[in-house]
Structure 1
Amino acid sequence: MLPDQDGQNTGGGGRGGGGGASEDPSTALFREYLRLKTVHPEPDYDAALGFLGRISEELGLPMKKVEVCPGRVVTILTWTGTNPALKSILLNSHTDVVPVYQEHWKYDAFAAVKDAEGNIYGRGSQDMKSVTIQYIEAVRHLKAAGKTFPRTIHLMFVPDEEVGGQKGMETFIKHPEFQKLNVGFALDEGLANPSEAFTVFYGERNPWWVTVRCPGSPGHGSRFVENTAAEKLRRVINLFLDFRERERQRLNMSECFTLGDVTTVNMTMVNGGVAYNVIPAEMDVSFDIRIPPTVNLQEFEEQIKAWCKEAGDDITYDFAQKGMNQKTTSTEDSDPWWSAFSSTCKSMNMTLKKEIFPAATDSRFIRAVGLPAIGFSPINRTPILLHDHNEFISESVFLKGIHIYETLIPALASVPALSTEA
């Protein structure tokens, strides 16, 4: 039996049927959402759509569903502002989560267990179902208080972020329905911070997923065949991983650098061969490379070409993913969006730590079309556990995040008309 799955007891009560009668309704709703198995490789998106449909009715906000690819629906709840001609505020989140290795978890990863310390365990608790519910509950509280704001607010829920976003945000950003949203500024996911500070992301590294193909002379496994694919493969691996080590040292030797400031290279797949006694005619190796906005991408690809040439004849490479967008969002005090965001955080005595996001989120697609986007999850005093075993967030941190959004959303939705909107 799992301990204390409902915080106080196993009875009903609480909006959404999440926990015990004394549990905060926002916590109960969060735990209900965590229990939806929107997990790859077969996420239950229908369950998420049903959940969001109910939220739409509860909030009294119209819901629009846009099928961007077969079985992939973007859902939008809209709170129309008093001056809808102004650019809108987008609160973006994704509904999908990554797989789990259940044998490494303390509890069922989809049971949303709350332990005696108030920590809520579940896949997506940090990435990013907590943020989704914090958006929803902040809007619920603001509407219940009778608040209105000049700018329209869109809550958007997208699929497939965890598998690259090709059937989610990347496609939707080019859709006429996205243009109709008239977005001026977007918030999206960030990362937890183990300290008292909150991390804010104004840009991202570009993901390059590259496969290097090494042809060679085949032959019998008993002979010293010259110019084999394996020899070339070894040289390719050494060149890529030598660069990886140089970047690792650069990160470790500088107090100024964060992970988002250096290029990471990781070998993720090796393929080739048909039998123990047959030297293969080709072997492939794949790398996951993440490149910060400060790196010249054309020059970096030239470096890849040079490594392939150095490793041997006829070596080729191709990309499964090749991000080329290096746009970042302004964090200058003169920028009206950043000023509203940062000054509001300061008013709540929050310390912000600005960084380049080390991985990839849907924010990159938003920035690519020239829109400002900040990656921010109001999760501090919490270890970074996205995609990790035993992912959790404490109830107190989760509830504090709702209050943070209750303060941030009005500030952003009340930014005065910009010169471009006059």
Structure 2
Amino acid sequence: MVKPNMRIFILSTRTLVFLTLFSITTQQEVPETSITRFQEYLRINTAHPNPDYSAAVSFLNVLAKSIPNLQTRTLYLTTPQKPLLLVTLPGSNPSLPSILFNSHLDSVPAEPSKWVHHPFSAVKTDDGKIFARGAQDDKCIAIQYLEALRNIILKDPEFKPVRTLHICYVPDEEIGGLDGMAKFVESNEFKQLNVGFFLDEGQASTTNQYRVFYADRSPWNLVIKATGMPGHGSRMFDNSAMENLMKSIEVVSKFRENQFDLVKAGVLANSEVISANAVYLKAGIPSTNGNFVMNMQPSEAEAGFDVRLPPTVDPDLLKKRIADEWAPATRNLSYHIVEKGPLRDYKGRPLMTATNDSNPWWIVFKDAVEACGGELMKPEILSSTTDARYLRQLGIPTLGFSPMKNTPILLHDHNEYLKDTVFLEGIKVYESIIKSLTSFEGAGPL
């Protein structure tokens, strides 16, 4: 017979054991899934100006090596601080041109105070939204590529593609790619890949259809500088620097207005016109108190413009317009253009990839998206710029695509997020695309 005080002791002991086991269970890590791996990658801060490329490459390298049959190489094309990870699934016919998928490692900066959740916490809310810088641009596809391969090989351990598939994770896309993709395409390592088709990032779609891009707009940094007579702030005279610059800004603004009218009227898409947006003004004579001297007119003034050109535009004609109308020397104006990336391919053709029956890669890609229940919108020119331009310059068929539908476009915005269901559906889309592209035997480079 158990005494009452002994019974209390036994019950207390059992309770303690139960609570201890419960505590251990609840403290265990959540089982690793595609979503948790996505969140883990999002928590690596690769935002400029100090992206942690080393941690990102290390994470992706381990993830790739956890998938059977994948090979990895880390390349250092500039400095040890800017690694490039190359993941490869060898094909059975290495003589065929390979497939190359791309994702950039870096992200734009984020302002934590403007976010509902910290931009590098990758919080998933009850409604499935995963908040993080890079959730859409473009860490989603970085993980989706690998998760799609994981699923393919899990379902069929003997899977062997005909064409070799490569995935590259490159640095510095958000700042022009000059130490990233631009260096990669010039390297011997890239030449040895024998790339026949390239798939890069796209953008979210707010509709039930996926967006796909056959070209990018090319960026120009335009600086217009004005000079003129300096003088007392009270004087009225012609040809001051500020007057000359303001006239120039008025001309550029009128051109911008005319281009924007075509967009508002539905004649052209935003990505099909030339945009010219003023991004800074610099003038005045600084005073000792941190302000400006108010009774002096400066002899110099300048303005900076972000100009974007669709591939259908003749860049020489725009340069002539700038010289004759926007910054004529007769008004004491000068200008300087920094062309950030190529405008034409090696044969002098506009940087565009055909999206019709003349391009067999397009047919295979389109059929693969539709085979898994997806639907594509009319192909577009991307209004911004990606690493895709460096491949199009080589004449390699290139598409921009990120499988995000029914999703607000939040790249570079506060509170960037991607829903878990959208992310998981994108993996299924890439499974179909990978199997179709790597089994296609009918085309070499166009």
Q: What one-letter code is carried by the residue in structure 1 that aligns with 2:273?
A: V
Are 2:349 and 1:333 equivalent residues in the alignment? no
Which runs of no fewer than 5 residues in structure 1 stay unpaired? 1-8, 14-19
Of 148, 167, 176, which aligns to 1:138? 148
Of 10, 19, 30, which aligns to 2:38? 30
Which runs of no fewer than 5 residues in structure 2 stay unpaired? 1-24, 287-292, 345-349
Matches within 5 A, 1:80-229: 80-144=90-154, 145-146=156-157, 147-229=159-241
Aligned to 1:56: 64
TM-score, normalization by structure 2:
0.87
Question: 1:305 & 1:200 partners in 2: Cα distance?
Answer: 35
TM-score, normalization by structure 1:
0.92
- How far 1:11 moved relative to its partner? 4.8
Q: What one-letter code is carried by the residue in structure 1 that aligns with 2:205?
A: N
Residues 122/231 of structure 1: CA separation in 2 closer, same or farther (3 Å cut): same
SS in 2 for 1:97: coil
- How far 1:121 moved relative to its partner? 0.6
- Identity, in percent, stands at 38
- How far 1:75 moved relative to its partner? 1.1
Aligned to 2:312: 294
- How far 1:50 moved relative to its partner? 1.4
Q: What one-letter code is carried by the residue in structure 2 that aligns with 1:286?
A: G
Matches within 5 A, 1:222-371: 222-254=234-266, 257-275=268-286, 276=293, 277-310=295-328, 312-323=330-341, 324-325=343-344, 326-353=350-377, 354-371=379-396
SS in 1 for 2:66: helix
Question: 2:187 & 2:324 partners in 1: Cα distance?
Answer: 39
Question: 1:396 & 1:257 partners in 2: Cα distance?
Answer: 33
Question: 1:420 & 1:228 partners in 2: Cα distance?
Answer: 56
SS in 2 for 1:385: coil
Question: 1:271 & 1:381 partners in 2: Cα distance?
Answer: 42
SS in 2 for 1:198: coil
Aligned to 1:66: 75
Question: 2:340 & 2:244 partners in 1: Cα distance?
Answer: 24
Q: Assess if the C-alpha contact under 8 Å between 2:353 and 2:399 holds in 1.
A: yes
- How far 1:191 moved relative to its partner? 0.3
Q: Assess if the C-alpha contact under 8 Å between 1:236 and 1:311 holds in 2.
A: no
Question: 1:300 & 1:249 partners in 2: Cα distance?
Answer: 19
CA deviations over 1:191-220 (Å, ceiling 9, x no partner) = 000100100000111111111111112233
Q: Assess if the C-alpha contact under 8 Å between 2:396 and 2:445 holds in 1.
A: no
Question: 2:243 & 2:141 partners in 1: Cα distance?
Answer: 48
Residues 10/409 of structure 1: CA separation in 2 closer, same or farther (3 Å cut): farther
- How far 1:335 moved relative to its partner? 1.9
Question: 2:326 & 2:198 partners in 1: Cα distance?
Answer: 40
Aligned to 1:3: none
Aligned to 1:39: 47
Bigger CA drift: 58-67 or 30-39? 58-67
Q: What one-letter code is carried by the residue in structure 1 that aligns with 2:257?
A: E
- How far 1:314 moved relative to its partner? 3.1
Q: Assess if the C-alpha contact under 8 Å between 1:113 and 1:122 holds in 2.
A: yes
- How far 1:280 moved relative to its partner? 1.9
- How many pairs does the alignment contain? 404
Q: Which runs of 4+ in 1 moved over 4 A?
A: 9-12, 309-312
Q: Which structure is larger by alpha-carbon Rg, 1 or 2?
A: 2
Q: Assess if the C-alpha contact under 8 Å between 2:100 and 2:168 holds in 1.
A: yes
RMSD value, Cα: 1.8
Q: Assess if the C-alpha contact under 8 Å between 1:232 and 1:312 holds in 2.
A: no
Residues 215/12 of structure 1: CA separation in 2 closer, same or farther (3 Å cut): farther
Q: What one-letter code is carried by the residue in structure 1 that aligns with 2:72?
A: M
Question: 1:418 & 1:62 partners in 2: Cα distance?
Answer: 25
Q: Assess if the C-alpha contact under 8 Å between 1:207 and 1:321 holds in 2.
A: yes
SS in 1 for 2:123: coil
Residues 343/306 of structure 1: CA separation in 2 closer, same or farther (3 Å cut): same
Q: Assess if the C-alpha contact under 8 Å between 1:235 and 1:311 holds in 2.
A: no
- How far 1:349 moved relative to its partner? 3.0
Q: What one-letter code is carried by the residue in structure 1 that aligns with 2:114?
A: H
- How far 1:287 moved relative to its partner? 0.5
CA deviations over 1:274-318 (Å, ceiling 9, x no partner) = 232332221111101111122111111111111245585331111
Q: What one-letter code is carried by the residue in structure 1 that aligns with 2:279?
A: T
CA deviations over 1:6-26 (Å, ceiling 9, x no partner) = xxx98553xxxxxx34xx700
Q: What one-letter code is carried by the residue in structure 2 that aligns with 1:93?
A: S
- How far 1:321 moved relative to its partner? 2.9
- How far 1:343 moved relative to its partner? 1.2
Residues 273/45 of structure 1: CA separation in 2 closer, same or farther (3 Å cut): same
SS in 1 for 2:46: coil
